[in-house]
Structure 1
């Protein structure tokens, strides 16, 4: 089967029909041809976290157990992505709980190790440099609900998904999907501007003053606070002018 123009091969409808009817060989083929897309969604959403394989496996298990309930074989691709996104969301909810629980167990006066953050670890592991490293760091400034939207938009930008498939994966109408993508992109651009400004040498005195009480951990609240300075400071805003658009950096 020839690859589609989107990069990831589309699964033939007859394979989906056979797998839905209980054909074991067709199901094996369906899983094998679906794995690249599942890995793309999970890998981009989890930033290469060690749990990526576990989330992929759980997604595939849900596909295998639920294939019989698929109503329209033509919608298999968006159904697959929707299942994967749900597994990513479940992982994120568990991960937030586990991190909060762990924080309760450690002594209150133990200084937090920034290297323990999984996004920072991912950056080190992948040896991201320059502007690509910046975009990876900028994702840390996103709201939690932006993570799955970012992963799907990334696939759309690279031609792996259509906007219709993205909307179906989020279980929203195309118009609502466009709004969610636009808001995520705005927050991503803001995060990118903050990252670029923080790297300016010598540092901006005004930005240092704005970040005086910041503990170094990206958060939506501090994104808004630091963004107010960055937008109004010619020096900080100039740092972003030297950074490529997110679409180019995500390619």
Structure 2
């Protein structure tokens, strides 16, 4: 049986302890936001996914299996909600589209600076923009796995549990996702 802070908080929240649920929210809100933002590339949609994730967690605490990792359970909820939003989107991709976001920021701009020169900063931000654009262009089944693996830094086993797919399928999709990115980036970098 898994016994850690998450499970103890889930047990308390299940019994109606609102402070325990608030601690769960505090522990996971940023992680779920970053996951959703990377998948959706839209701050407002990511915030909506975070809210919906915690609503579902709250409503379904009685369904949480304490023998599985809480993080896997909550990531599965957030990932599925993000995938649902991606599926509902109407394709609006244009090769001529302006690639800047309405907020003027992306996830990379949140990374603290390490005193780079203006020239290296420009090269790095352009490279990050190209990589971000390439990840955004992946088909959803690869995009989700690449974000969970390389941005959320989850293991293949954790991704398997979150997406309810065999580890071999995850390995295949990671490999194909990397190949897809490699081909896209060969032409841009």
TM-score normalised by the shorter chain: which range applies?
Answer: 0.7 to 0.9
Q: Deviations over 1:208-247 (max 9, x none)?
A: xxxxxxxxxxxxxxxxxxxxxxxxxxxxxxxxxxxxxxxx
Correspondent of 1:22 among 6, 16, 26:
16
Q: For the structure 1 residues 163 and 180, does the alpha-carbon distance in structure 2 shift closer, same or farther, using more than 3 Å as the test?
A: same
Q: Which runs of 4+ in 1 moved over 3 A?
A: none
Partner of 1:150: 146
- Contact 1:15 1:26 (C-alpha < 8 Å) held by counterparts: yes
- Residues 51-107 of structure 1 deviation map (CA, whole Å, 9 limit, x = unaligned): 22112211221111111111225421101111111100111122227x59xxxxxxx
Q: Distance in 1 between matches of 2:74 and 2:170?
A: 18
For the aligned residues, what is the CA RMSD?
A: 2.7
Single out whichever of 87-96 and 145-154 deviates more from structure 2.
Answer: 145-154
Q: Matched residue of 2:90: which SS?
A: helix
Q: Report if the CA contact (8 A) 1:45-1:148 is conserved.
A: yes
Structure 1 distance, partners of 2:148, 2:95, is 32
Match of 2:69 in 1: 75
Answer yes or no: is the 8 Å Cα contact 2:136–2:143 preserved in 1.
no
Q: Distance in 2 between matches of 1:70 and 1:32?
A: 19
Conserved in 1, the CA contact under 8 Å of 2:146 and 2:174? Answer: yes
Matched residue count:
169
Provide the residue aligned with 1:43 in structure 2. Answer: 37
Describe how 1:226-237 pairs up with structure 2 within 5 A. Answer: none
2:164 aligns to what? 171
Q: CA deviation at 1:144?
A: 2.9
TM-score normalised according to structure 1 size: 0.59
Partner of 1:130: 126
- Give 1:191 shift: 1.4
Give ranges in structure 2 of 5+ residues lacking alignment. 109-124
